[in-house]
Amino acid sequence: MRREFSALLLLAATPAIIVAQQPAAPAGQLSLLEAIALGRKQAVEATIARLNVREAEARTAQRRADLLPTIAGLAGVTRQTVNLDEFGIPIASGVTDPFTIWRLQVRASQTVFDASAITRLRAGRDTAAAAGLDAQAIGQQAGATAGLAYLRLLSTQETVKAREADSTVAAQLLDEARQLVSAGVSPAIDATRSEVSFAAVRTQLEVARNSADRARLDLLRTLDLPPASRITLADSLGLGGLNVPLDPDEAAAFAREHRTELAAERARTTAAERTLKAVKYENLPSLGLSGSYQQTGQRTPDLAGSYAVQLQLSVPILDGFRRQSRAREESERVQVQQIRERDLGNRVETEAREAVLDLASAQQQVAIAGDRLRLAEQELSQAGERFKSGVAGSVETTNAQSSVIAARDALIQARLNYGTARVSAYQALGVIDQLQ
Per-residue CA distances from 137 to 141, 284, 336, 348 (Å): 6, 39, 22, 13
**What is the pLDDT, as a whole number, of residue 177?**
84
* Per-block mean pLDDT, blocks of 10 residues, the chain (436 long): 43 41 66 88 89 92 92 94 83 84 94 93 93 92 92 92 90 86 82 88 94 94 90 67 80 94 95 94 94 90 90 92 93 95 96 93 91 92 83 81 91 90 91 78
Contact predicate 376/400, CB 8 Å: yes
- pLDDT recorded at residue 172: 87
Q: At what angle do helices 44-64 and 32-42 cross, to 10 degrees?
A: 40
| Orientation angle between helical segments 115-182 and 32-42, nearest 10 degrees | 140
Q: How confident is the model at residue 19, as a pLDDT?
A: 44
Note whether 337 and 364 are within 8 A (CB): no
**pLDDT at residue 21, rounded to an integer:** 55
* Residue boundaries of the structural domains of the chain: 31-69+113-284+321-434
Write down the pLDDT at residue 436.
60
Pairing verdict, β 232-233 and 286-297 = unpaired
Cα separation, 194 vs 180, whole angstroms? 12
For 417-427, give one letter per residue: b (16+ CB within 10 A) or e.
bbbbbbbbbbb
What 3-state class would DSSP assign to 99?
Answer: strand
198's enclosing H/E stretch is helix 188-222
- What number of residues does the chain have? 436
Instruction: Measure Cα distances from 239 to 104, 146, 392, 421, 426 in Å.
Output: 70, 14, 46, 11, 10
Strand 99-113 vs strand 286-297: parallel, antiparallel, or unpaired? antiparallel
Residue 173 pLDDT: 84
**Using CA atoms, how far apart are residues 224 and 219, in angstroms rounded to an integer?**
9
**Alpha carbons 124 and 67: distance in angstroms, whole number:** 13
Predicted pLDDT at 242: 58
CA quadruple 235, 240, 241, 247: dihedral sign: negative
| C-alpha to C-alpha distances, 147 to 121, 237, 420, 424, nearest whole angstrom | 39, 10, 8, 10
Measured distance CA(157)–CA(213) in Å, rounded: 9
In CATH terms, the fold of domain 31-69+113-284+321-434 is Outer membrane efflux proteins (OEP) (1.20.1600)
The phi, psi pair for 199, rounded to 5°, reads -65, -40
Q: Which of 356, 369, 349, 377 is closest to 411 using CA atoms?
A: 369
